[in-house]
Structure 1
Amino acid sequence: MSRHLQHLLHSRLDTAAAVLDLPLTRDHLERLAVELTPAVKALLLEADDRAAEHEPVEYTLTEQAAPADRHVTEYNGCRSSIHPEVDEDAPAALLALEWRGMQPDITSTDVPTRTHLTITVRPQSLRAWDWWLNKAGVAVDSTRRHGQLITGTGYYGEITVYLRGENVGQLLDDQVVTASATRLTQFIGGHPW
């Protein structure tokens, strides 16, 4: 994709330089195409993400207890719920309790069964998100993006962990924009015109 995009960008730049009668050599045009390809690719991916947000999403229904059927508590901005048939000393419930006690990033936990835990976090950085992915045993390539929410499923011992990152999409967008802006600034700052 990048090589093809680079060739397309080069041909468009060549055409624009000819139409506008810009004094650009072939080397200038090639360098512009090479340097701008990542930024253009990021813009195209961003447009695809925006389009995907408006596409219908297929959902499957699973049997889960209604919120009224759960024991829900809230403490210090963290909402925790547990199905009434799950003992408080079940592995998933103990893991939720342990993580809630040591991590301020957690905004909610849900224990639907003794070996399943849904945890929602709001990490302050991508490094914190990477820590959560590693802690919950979630492979990066298995995560899914739903707007600003990133989800993934992993395993912590015998416990299936469904991890939800509330603001991770924004953190990823910020990283792409910063990297593209830095590269573009470095390229334009050293250019002769």
Structure 2
Amino acid sequence: MTTDEFVCAALLSAVRAQLGEWTTRRATRALRDCGFTPQRATVRQALHTLTERGQLIQHDNDSNRRYFTLSPTEDTPAARLAEAARTQPDLRTAVADDATTLTLTVQPRSRDCWDWWLAHVGVPRDGVTLQGPVAVATGHRGGVTVHLRGISSVCRPSEMTR
């Protein structure tokens, strides 16, 4: 096994254990914890190699921030639920924070769409709170804790009374 393959294996092991969003900086720290002293270019190459293999997904829709997450083909309850959620048009991001925790950011087009998301993750309407302009709620589905973030005016609790 080459050094590059060892770096990829160590990094993938760390990502599987900790999940969440992985930047070059976070990956470098994890590799240092494993006893490696990688150059930044080596870490970037490992992240891209794992992406090419389909083990990570690269997210760079914000030009100022690029990060990687474990591919939903990796078998965890949160990753499977994230993969299922990706078929919904309102979904903006689905990040498996760990094996049993998922954060979904949605931008529903209507109150009915928002109600569907709340029911989908088992949150009553009165379980929604505001954090600045974002409506947040926590629910559970299939053994996964789901943190739901709504970024549309239809998600605001004051808008939810009929």
Which category describes the TM-score, using the shorter chain as reference length? 0.5 to 0.7
Counterpart in the other structure of 2:106? 121
Report whether the alignment pairs 1:82 with 2:69: yes
Q: Which amino acid is the alignment partner of residue 94 of structure 1?
A: R
Conserved in 2, the CA contact under 8 Å of 1:106 and 1:119? yes
Report whether the alignment pairs 1:131 with 2:116: yes
Uncovered stretches (5+) of structure 1, i.e. residues with no partner: 1-62, 180-193
What's the secondary structure of 1:145's corresponding residue?
strand
Counterpart in the other structure of 1:98? 84
Quote the Cα distance in structure 1 between the aligned partners of 2:75 and 2:70: 12
Deviations 1:1-34 (A, max 9, x none): xxxxxxxxxxxxxxxxxxxxxxxxxxxxxxxxxx
Q: 1:147 to 1:131 in 2, by over 3 A?
A: same
Quote the Cα distance in structure 1 between the aligned partners of 2:159 and 2:150: 15
Higher share in strand: 2
Quote the Cα distance in structure 1 between the aligned partners of 2:123 and 2:97: 19
Counterpart in the other structure of 1:43? none
Segment drifting more, 159-168 vs 87-96: 87-96
Conserved in 2, the CA contact under 8 Å of 1:108 and 1:121? yes
Conserved in 2, the CA contact under 8 Å of 1:80 and 1:109? no
Percent of aligned pairs sharing the same letter: 33
Quote the Cα distance in structure 2 between the aligned partners of 1:98 and 1:143: 23
The alignment of Structure 1 onto Structure 2 pairs a total of residues equal to 112
Quote the RMSD (CA, aligned, Å). 3.6
Q: Which amino acid is the alignment partner of residue 165 of structure 1?
A: G
Quote the Cα distance in structure 2 between the aligned partners of 1:95 and 1:80: 20
Conserved in 1, the CA contact under 8 Å of 2:69 and 2:95? yes
Q: Which amino acid is the alignment partner of residue 106 of structure 1?
A: L
Residue 172 of structure 1, CA deviation: 5.9
Counterpart in the other structure of 2:138? 153
Conserved in 2, the CA contact under 8 Å of 1:150 and 1:164? yes
Counterpart in the other structure of 2:129? 144
Higher share in helix: 1
Bigger radius of gyration, 1 or 2? 1
Counterpart in the other structure of 2:96? 111
Q: 1:65 to 1:124 in 2, by over 3 A?
A: closer
What's the secondary structure of 1:92's corresponding residue?
helix
Deviations 1:90-112 (A, max 9, x none): 11101101110x20111001111
Q: Which amino acid is the alignment partner of residue 88 of structure 1?
A: E
Selected match of 1:73 from 58, 61, 76: 58
